Amino acid sequence: MTATDPARIPEIAAGVRRAFDSGRTRPIAWRLRQLAALEAMLVEREHELAAALHDDLGKSAAEAFVTELSVVRAEAATARRRLRRWLRPRPVRTGLALAPARAWTRYEPLGAVLIIGPWNYPVQLLLAPLVGALAAGDAAVLKPSELAPVTSALLAELLPNHLDREAIAVVEGGAAETQALLAQRWDRIFYTGGGRVARIVARAAAEHLTPTTLELGGKSPVYVDEGVDLAVAARRIAWGKFTNAGQTCVAPDYVLVAPGARDRLVRELGAAIAELYGPDPLESPDYGRIVSRDHFDRLSALLGDGRIAVGGTSDPEGLRLAPTVLVDVDPASPVMQEEIFGPILPVLVTPGPREAIAFVRARPKPLALYTFTGSRRVRRAFARSTSSGALVHGMTLAHLAIGELPFGGVGESGMGAYHGEASLRTFSHERAEAAKPLRPDTLALVYPPIGRAVMRLLRRLLP
C-alpha cells in the first residue's frame, strides 16, 4: 500500500466534484455502465482479490467469494436490473383543495460522496456502498482501510482501470489521509467501522452540515430456547460467529440460553466447531486469522473473563486464536462490556425469554439480535420489546444475503441503511416536485380578502 499524499487530497476531492458538476454521472446509461464494469472487475479479478484477502486476513478463497465478492456482485446486478424502475417518479396525491394539480417525488444524485471502508470485509464493505453511489449517479472518493494493505493497494490499482476515473477515485493511507478527506466538503459521508472513529467522522461532517451514514456494530445477542434443535442452532451460531475469525459486525457476540440447555448447547457448539474447522482449527485452511497484533493481544486478554469450555488455544506468531466458548461469565466483566469482534463466544444462563429481553434492553441497541425458539409468542415478545438494527429468527449472519432487506443500525449500532433500493435512497435526494396549470386559477379561493362564504367552503375542503 502506498499512501496518498495528503496535500493532493483537496484536488482529488475537487476533481470528482468537477466530474459530477459536468453532468457526466447523471445519465442512466453512465450508471448502468459503471455497475456492469464493477461486476466485470469482480469476475475477471476474482483470484487476485481472493489472494489479497488471504494475505490480509487469512480468508480462504471460498470464504472470500461467499462473504465478499459474491455479495457485491449480487448488489450490482440487482441495482442494474432494477434501476430504471427505482428511478421512476412516484406520484403523490395533491388533495381536492389544489385540484387540478399534480405532485410527485423523484430521486436525484446527491453529488460528491466519501466512502470510508473497514478492514474486516475490505472488499464488500467498501464496494457495496459504492454500488449505491453509482446507481444514484454520484461521484465518489473511496478510502480503503490501511489495516488491509494488500487489498487496499489492489483496489487502488483496479478501480481506476475499470470505472470512470474522473468520477471515482481511491485514496490510500491511515489517519492523516482520513483527516484530510474529512476536512473536505462532501454531499454524504458513508463510514463503516467502530464508534470511536464514527464520532470523529460525525464531528467533521457537522462542520459542513454533511449528512452521514454510520454502519457500526455492538454486542449482537443470541437467545436460545430449551426446546429447539440445539445441534442445528449450534451449527448456525458457530458459523455466524467464527466466520472471518469472529471479525464481523453482525457476528453473535454472546448467547443467552435457558439453564437446562446450557451444557448441551456448549457440547453442540464444540461439535459444530470441529465439523466446520476440524479437530485443530488453527491448522484449518478455512479458518482466518486476527488482523493485527493489537487486536490479538486484546482478545487474548478477554479469555480470562470466564471458564474456557471449548477452544482457547492460539498461535501468537500467526495471529490465530481458536474458536472459543466461555461459560461462567460475569456480566460485568470486560468481555461483556465491549464488542468482542473476535472468535470468543460467552454463553450465559438466563431464566427465560422475559429475563433475556430485560438483559438486552439494559444495554446499547445492537446491530443484530438473533433468536432460536419455536414459540411465536417469544418471537413476538422480542419484536415488541427490543430494538436492534435487525431481528433474525433461526439463523445468524445470513440475513445479509437478502439483497432487498435494508442493512443498518440504530442508536449506537449506527444510523442509516443500505442494500438494494435502500442504497439508492441513501445516496440520493428524494426531491419533491409539483405542478399546477395557470388556468383555471383555483388558488384564487385562498387569496385575500376571504369572505364568509369562501371561508365556509375552505373549512370543508381543508383539514
Active-site amino acid positions: 215, 249
The x, y and z cell numbers of residue 293, run together, are 497484533
| Contact yes or no for 324/304 (Cβ under 8 A) | no
118 Cβ contact list (under 8 Å, min separation 6)? 125, 145, 192, 193
70 Cβ contact list (under 8 Å, min separation 6)? none
Separation CA 305–CA 227 (nearest Å): 29
The x, y and z cell numbers of residue 407, run together, are 442493512
Buried b (16+ CB within 10 A) or exposed e, 397-419: bebbeebeebbbbbebbbbbbbb
Q: Which of 387, 364, 383, 363 is closest to 373 using CA atoms?
A: 383
How far out from the chain centre does Cα 168 lie? 21
Alpha helix (H) residue ranges in 243-352:
262-277, 293-302
DSSP label at residue 420: T
At residue 278, what is the residue type? G
Cβ atoms within 10 A of the Cβ of 119, count?
A: 22
Cβ burial of 137 (10 Å; 0-12, 13-18, 19+) is buried
339 Cβ contact list (under 8 Å, min separation 6)? 194, 217, 218, 219, 253
277 Cβ contact list (under 8 Å, min separation 6)? 242, 284, 286, 287, 323
Separation CA 286–CA 290 (nearest Å): 14
Separation CA 101–CA 93 (nearest Å): 9
β-pair partners for 369: 391
Separation CA 281–CA 302 (nearest Å): 19
> Measured between alpha carbons, how far apart are the two ends of the chain, in Å?
62
**How do strand 314-315 and strand 320-321 relate by DSSP bridges?**
antiparallel
Helix (H) or strand (E) holding 376: helix 376-385
Q: Count Cα atoms within 13 angstroms, Cβ side, for 161.
A: 10
